[in-house]
Structure 1
């Protein structure tokens, strides 16, 4: 994202207890559940709910010194995985996806303790009342692009299987039980939605930073965010004007998502963990 937030690096019990419950529930989600898959599905839902509670405690700075919004690279990753799991839960009401459930449970098992260990820095003076909305829109765009990447991976896997069987492109079904063309449309609907939300986040960030002295900086976060936005804009234009499909389109998606990860998560990881600096 464009605007920095910071890290204080100290975890507290208010974040750790829901994070611990969520971790245990996500472990249950990895257990084979037989034909019904009821137990692991319940584990994923319980983990998702306590995961949300851990995020709320963390971002709100509950138990930390001072008051104000708190965020960092690990909560950004955790919130992104949480949003993708939410999308999966909606889809799984129609079509069970045990393989995807296990993949998401593993991802959650990595990011939930990480967010509890690196909760971010409390910012009592945000500089503008619009900054929390800027952060929220940025994380929502991360979640939408994360869902798009997950579906693109399934789309690429399905296409590889079809090519191995010499099936025509667009024939057969993907791992969601959907025809490939419908799976492809679903994938890029997430891209379109993520692009709109990301555009709003960037516009709000620019407007807020220009109106608040000292907030605007041409740093790596700004550059990677704009490069990611431009990549997704090119992808959408390529699909509309040139009919990009298949691996060519998904590669652009992966590149754009990677640039967004570098824009905030990567830069904050370097500052908070490697350099141990809050800003």
Structure 2
């Protein structure tokens, strides 16, 4: 018990003080809109989110530039959340009625905190020059699929608003949300396909071993199948509504288990047992 607590404390204090300060500032900036969104002016909310976005980026970059560079499930989730916020920031300029500040702020704060508690394992010094590109493809597919999940949630809310004849004028039209959701699904599916193909063809040069049928591979392929069925069902049979949303959630959950889930087991569960 005490050994486990010592291990957790060691992990939490693994980051330099200045990185922890950046992380705490990012978390505070994220939480400002959460607790003050009803009272704050929209311009102030956007300013807080922009500050959080910049501080989050600096925190992610600092984690990769430390010696040795560390990576794991929590930094991957942190990068995914940052990509989601980047997408949201762009969409806010194009579609001012897009409203997801509260959810994204909480997710951003949680992932920044997790990345400080569980910074991951040191990355091997002798790795392929193509490994960063492969990781970037994987994280980008995570981010786009996560954006699809957020949009699917907004789509469900818009559908509920229509069914209950709500007079809420603050949300986006259902058809627009649906188009955006499937655009993100398609882009995420393309990047996921490229990530899997790279792992299949160049796995030995990237990771020092050929294709292995481990938990990460199986869950990644299941996620790919879920998104493929969704896109085929959309184009051939007009799949939409709740069934489409459920497939998006299922594919995203499988993708989350593929890397973040397997790394969580290795970095936290197994580490706890060894301690």
TM-score normalised to structure 2 length? 0.86
Residue in 2 that maps onto 1:146: 146
Post-superposition offset of 1:99: 5.0
Q: Distance in 1 between matches of 2:97 and 2:61?
A: 28
Residue in 2 that maps onto 1:135: 135
CA contact (8 A) 1:19 1:112 kept: yes
In the alignment, structure 1 segments of 5+ residues that lack a partner are 1-7
In the alignment, structure 2 segments of 5+ residues that lack a partner are 1-9
Q: Over aligned residue pairs, what C-alpha RMSD do you find?
A: 2.4
Within the alignment, does 1:46 sit opposite 2:51 as a pair?
yes
Residue in 2 that maps onto 1:156: 156
Residue in 1 that maps onto 2:214: 219
Residue in 2 that maps onto 1:113: 113
CA contact (8 A) 2:99 2:171 kept: no
Residue in 2 that maps onto 1:78: 78
CA contact (8 A) 2:64 2:71 kept: yes
CA gap of 1:174–1:183, structure 2 versus 1, over 3 A, is farther
1:199 paired residue among 193, 213, 230: 193
Q: Distance in 1 between matches of 2:15 and 2:164?
A: 49
Q: Distance in 1 between matches of 2:230 and 2:98?
A: 30
Within the alignment, does 1:28 sit opposite 2:23 as a pair?
no
Residue in 1 that maps onto 2:5: none
CA deviation profile, 1:49-96 (whole Å, cap 9, x unmatched): 010011011123x1x4xx4x4310101111111111111111222444
Q: Which residues in structure 2 correspond to 1:235-274 (within 5 Å)?
A: 235-274=230-269
CA deviation profile, 1:246-269 (whole Å, cap 9, x unmatched): 111111111000000000111111
CA contact (8 A) 2:158 2:171 kept: no
CA gap of 1:126–1:257, structure 2 versus 1, over 3 A, is farther
Residue in 2 that maps onto 1:124: 124
CA gap of 1:145–1:98, structure 2 versus 1, over 3 A, is closer
CA deviation profile, 1:146-181 (whole Å, cap 9, x unmatched): 11110100111111222233x9xxxx998643x321
Q: Distance in 1 between matches of 2:130 and 2:171?
A: 39
CA contact (8 A) 2:203 2:209 kept: yes
TM-score normalised to structure 1 length? 0.85
Identify, as 1 or 2, the structure richer in helix. 2
Post-superposition offset of 1:204: 1.3
Instruction: Provide the aligned length of Structure 1 versus Structure 2.
Output: 259
Structure number with greater CO (CA < 8 Å, separation at least 6) is: 1
CA gap of 1:191–1:87, structure 2 versus 1, over 3 A, is same
CA deviation profile, 1:16-70 (whole Å, cap 9, x unmatched): 121111112112222236473222211111011010011011123x1x4xx4x43
